[in-house]
Amino acid sequence: MTRYDLIIRGGYVIDGTGAPAFKADIGVVEDTIVKLGDLSNCSADLVINAEGMYVCPGFIDIHNHSDLSIFKVPTADNYVLQGVTTIVIGNCGSSPAPVTEKNKDLVREFMWGLEASDFPVKWRSFSEYLSKLDLLKKSINVAALVGHGTVRSAVLGAEDIKASERELKEMALLIDDAMKSGAFGMSLGLIYVPSMFADFNELTYLSKAVAKYGGLLAVHMRDEGQGLIDSVIEVITIAKETGVKLEISHLKAVGKANWGKAATALRIIEEYASRGLDVSADAYPYEASSTFLSAILPKWVREGGTPALLSKLSNPEVVEKLKVDLIREGIMGSRRLEWSDIMISSSLSHRDIEGLRLSEVASRWGTDPLSAAVKILLDDRGLTEMVVFGMNEEEVAEVISHPLVAISSDGLVQLPSKSKPHPRNYGAFPRVIAAYVREKKVLSLPEAIRKMTSLPARKLGLWDRGIIRPRFKADLVIFDFNSIKDNATYLNPHSYPTGIKAVVINGVVVVEEGRHTGSLPGKLLRFCA
Ligand SMILES: [Zn+2]
C-alpha cells in the first residue's frame, strides 16, 4: 500500500488545461503531485475530503505589485484566501531593484501601497533583492520581473531625457543581470515617470536583452484611452522586432468615448497570435481601475518625480495652467474622465475622504475638484491612490472571457487598514467564477480555471505549475462551486471571499475551511532560461 503525505479524496478535478472535470483522488508526496486516480486503498498523513467540491491548480496572479508589501505581510492573506498560490511582482515598470546613487531616493516612490513609502531598501542589485525575497519565510510563491522604470531611473534618474548609446548599454547590463539572477522578464509602465520617457528605440534595444533569455515583456501601455490601438501596435511592433514574449497588462478601454477599443485590441492580438507571435493579455474582472491620483495630471507636471511634482503643485500659477490644460486635454489625458469617476481610495492625511468621489470632496470642502485634488496630493506628499470608474461592463466581460486573456488582480498584499483599496485585492479570482461563470455564464468553469492557471504558467515559462498532473508541484485549490463568492466591494474592500475550503501550496495546507493556517511554504521562483 502506497503512502502519501497528503491525499485529496473524492473531488472533481479541473486540471487547468481547459479540459472538463473528472472525478479523481490526488496523491501528494512532499511538494509534488505523484498520483491521480482511485487512491481508496492508500493512506496519507493528511486526508482532505473534497466530496462534492472541485479541485483545481492554485491560481497564478501574473500581474501583482507586492514587491515590498510581501515583506510586511508574508502570510499574504488577501491572496491565499482567494486561492492564489503564486504572484508575479515587478509590474508596470516598477521593481524595488536595481538601486544606484541615481535612484536610491526614487525607488520607494515607484512602489504601490502607502506603507511602502517608509520601507527600508537595503539592497542594490536585483540579485540581492531576490536573495532577500528567497530568505523571507512566506505563505505564497513569488516570481519577479525587473521594472524598466526602475532600471531607467538607476541610470538616468527621473528626467525626461533621451538615453545615449552608452546609457542604453548600461541599462541593458542591469536587465541582463536581473535575468541571470532569475527575473522572468521585464515590465514597462509607459504612463509612469520615468518609463514614459523611453522612446521606441530604447524599448526595442532593452527588450532584446530580455528576449535573449526567452523572458517576458509585460506592458502597461502608453495609452488606455483614445490612443489604445496605437499603443497596442507599438508594443506588438516591439515584440515582432525583438522576438520577446509579450503580455499586455490589464487590458481595458478607459473613458466612455473609448469604449469598444479594448474589443478592437482583442481582434489585433488574435490576428498576431494566429500568425505565431507570442502575444496575450491579462485583465481583472471589474469596471473600475486603480492607480496613483497623480496619474490624472499631464506629463509636464509629473516630469522629475514626486519632489518636482510637489513643488510645481505648490505654485498657484501652475494650478491655473493645469485648469486650462485639463479642460483642453481631458482629465487623465485621452481617457477624458469626469471628476465624479474618481474615488479617493487611500489618503494618509485625509482618511475621512477615503471612499468619496473627487466631486463630493470638492463640494464638502467648498472648492473646485482640481483644487481639492491638488490639496490632497500636496498633503499626502504625492502618494494618494484612487479608484477610477471608467470601463464598460459588457466590454469587461468580453475581455475577461477571451481565450488569450489571463486573469490578474493588479493588486498587492494588504494590511487591513483604514484605506479603501480596489476590491480586486481581495476578490479578483473568486469573482471570475462567481460573476462570469455562475451568474453571467460567459465562461465555462474549466475555461475560467485555465485562464487563472495553465495560461499564465505557460506564458511565464513555469513548466511545473498551473496543471494538476503527476510531477507538477502541489499548488491546489478546493472550492464549492455553488457558494464561492468575492465579498469585497468598493466601500467595504477588506473582506475575504467565501466558498474556498482549502488551499495547498507546495504540498502544505495554507488555507483550511476558509481560514489561514499560518503556514509559510512559499518559494521564490527563479526563471530558468
Ligand atoms: Zn499598470
CATH number at residue 213: 3.20.20.140
329 Cα to the center of ligand 1, angstroms: 21
Is the pTM of the predicted complex or chain greater than 0.75? yes
State the average pLDDT over residues 70-76: 95
Say whether both 166 and 71 belong to one domain: yes
Say whether both 197 and 172 belong to one domain: yes
Say whether both 107 and 201 belong to one domain: yes
155 Cα to the center of ligand 1, angstroms: 22
Are 91 and 146 a contacting pair, CB within 8 Å?
no
- Give the C-alpha separation, 66 to 73, whole Å: 9
- Give the C-alpha separation, 387 to 20, whole Å: 37
Segment 161-202, tens digit of pLDDT: 999 999 999 999 999 999 999 999 999 999 998 999 999 999
pLDDT at 478: 98
**Per-residue confidence at 15, pLDDT binned at 50, 70, 90?**
very high
312 Cα to the center of ligand 1, angstroms: 25
* 527 domain-assigned: no
Determine the 3-state secondary structure of 406 from DSSP.
strand
Say whether both 444 and 403 belong to one domain: yes
More confident residue, 119 or 313: 313
Domain that includes residue 339, residue range: 292-386
413 Cα to the center of ligand 1, angstroms: 16
Residue type, 184: F
In this predicted structure, the answer to whether residue 114 has a pLDDT above a threshold of 60 is no
Say whether both 322 and 415 belong to one domain: no
Say whether both 50 and 63 belong to one domain: no
248 Cα to the center of ligand 1, angstroms: 10
Percent of the chain topping pLDDT 90:
88
* 399 domain-assigned: yes
220 Cα to the center of ligand 1, angstroms: 5
* 107 domain-assigned: yes
Residue 521 burial by Cβ neighbours in a 10 Å radius (0-12, 13-18, 19+): buried
In this predicted structure, the answer to whether residue 62 has a pLDDT above a threshold of 60 is yes
305 Cα to the center of ligand 1, angstroms: 17
281 Cα to the center of ligand 1, angstroms: 12
What are the C-alpha distances in Å from 525 to residues 34, 40, 219? 21, 34, 21
Residue owning grid cell 531576490 = 130
- Give the C-alpha separation, 234 to 227, whole Å: 11
* 528 domain-assigned: no
Domain termination residue (choose one: 329, 353, 386): 386
Residue 176: half-sphere exposure toward Cβ, Cα within 13 Å? 10
Say whether both 51 and 64 belong to one domain: no
181 Cα to the center of ligand 1, angstroms: 24
* 525 domain-assigned: no
Which ranges constitute the DSSP H helices of 48-147? 69-72, 77-80, 126-135
Segment 121-168, tens digit of pLDDT: 889 999 999 999 999 999 999 999 999 999 999 999 998 999 999 999
Are 413 and 66 a contacting pair, CB within 8 Å?
yes
- Give the C-alpha separation, 431 to 450, whole Å: 15
Say whether both 135 and 189 belong to one domain: yes
Domain termination residue (choose one: 364, 386, 408): 386
State the average pLDDT over residues 509-521: 97
91 Cα to the center of ligand 1, angstroms: 7
Domain termination residue (choose one: 367, 386, 405): 386
Are 61 and 413 a contacting pair, CB within 8 Å?
no
189 Cα to the center of ligand 1, angstroms: 6
CATH number at residue 511: 2.30.40.10
Closest by alpha carbon to 108, among 138, 71, 150, 73? 150
Domains in the chain: how many in total?
3
* 520 domain-assigned: no
Closest by alpha carbon to 384, among 360, 335, 419? 419
In this predicted structure, the answer to whether residue 528 has a pLDDT above a threshold of 90 is no
133 Cα to the center of ligand 1, angstroms: 22
The distance in angstroms from the start CA to the end CA of the chain is 39
- Give the C-alpha separation, 6 to 206, whole Å: 45
**Per-residue confidence at 119, pLDDT binned at 50, 70, 90?**
confident
24 Cα to the center of ligand 1, angstroms: 39
* 466 domain-assigned: no
- Cα 110–chain centre separation: 14
What are the C-alpha distances in Å from 65 to residues 17, 69, 217, 302, 350? 26, 8, 16, 21, 24
Say whether both 372 and 399 belong to one domain: no
* 504 domain-assigned: yes
Say whether both 30 and 134 belong to one domain: no
Residue owning grid cell 491579462 = 282
Say whether both 319 and 398 belong to one domain: no
22 Cα to the center of ligand 1, angstroms: 37
251 Cα to the center of ligand 1, angstroms: 9
Say whether both 297 and 237 belong to one domain: no
229 DSSP β-pair partners: none
Determine the 3-state secondary structure of 361 from DSSP.
helix
19 Cα to the center of ligand 1, angstroms: 31
Are 361 and 372 a contacting pair, CB within 8 Å?
yes
Contacts 24+ apart (CB under 8 A), 270-276: 270/404, 272/236, 272/239, 272/240, 273/404
Segment 248-301, tens digit of pLDDT: 999 999 999 999 999 999 999 999 999 999 999 999 999 999 989 999 999 899
